[in-house]
Amino acid sequence: MSESFEKLQNRILSDAKVKAEDILHEAEEKASKMLEDARQKARKDADAVGAKARFDAEALRRSILSAKVRANRLRLLDEKNRIVRSIVSGAEERLSAIAQSPGFMDTVKKMASEAVDAIGTDQATVRVGFEGTKGKELNSLGPALPRGAKLVVEDSPIDELGGVIASDLDGKVVFNNSFRARMDRMDSQLLSLISSTVFGE
């Protein structure tokens, strides 16, 4: 009786210990799973952070490079413009002094003839004016004009660089054939000629 009573006591305690171990084991497993799940989720979030970082890095790289490339393109364009302007200035200087060149009168005749043709009447007023010319020289242009045309020799160069302006008798139809007006009309042609000569473009 005493022996079986003791066994009963031991059995009660032993069952309790087994149950206690189960409870602890279950808690440890649950803890371990919680940790592993959290790590997996954190790694996934970290991967997303990494992917966004690579995307942002590429955007940053492009932004830095495109800003620099843009700035350098502007520098190149500025320099080209400076060079082209310098050549245009050189051409303007040469045109201002064209009266000293050998074929000057032929040039004036051609410009006057173009201007008269452009207004479409022989009854024209033709104004001429160049730097460094004497009235007498330009007056020799008269016989080259149509019979009804009137020649006016200006004291100063027309449009600063010199040239010819023809108008009808009413002054309603005017054709400006000054060097400045010709440059304006040929602007894009002139710029591409200079560009192709200097830069080979």
Partner 1 sequence: MSGIDAVKRIVETEAKARKIVEDAKTRAQEVLQKAARDVEAARQAILDQAQRQRDEVLSRAKIEAEAEAGKSDSDTEQTLAGYQKAFQARKDEAVDRAVQLIVRG
Considering only residues 96-125, where is the footprint of partner 1 by CB under 8 A?
98, 107, 114
Q: Is 192 exposed, middle or buried (0-12, 13-18, 19+ CB in 10 A)?
A: exposed
CB of 170 to partner 1, least distance (A): 27
Residue 75 binds partner 1, judged by CB under 8 A: yes
Site residues for partner 1, 160-199, by CB under 8 A, read: 179, 182-183, 186, 189-190, 193-194, 197-199
Can you spell out the DSSP letters for 101-150? STTHHHHHHHHHHHHHHHHT-SSEEEEEE-TT--HHHHHTTGGGS-TT-E
Site residues for partner 1, 44-63, by CB under 8 A, read: 45-47, 49-50, 52-54, 56-58, 60-61
Residue 26 binds partner 1, judged by CB under 8 A: yes
CB of 24 to partner 1, least distance (A): 5
Longest dimension (CA), the chain: 159
Residue 32 binds partner 1, judged by CB under 8 A: yes
Nearer of residues 15 and 122 to partner 1, judged by Cβ: 15
Alpha carbons 83 and 26: distance in angstroms, whole number: 85
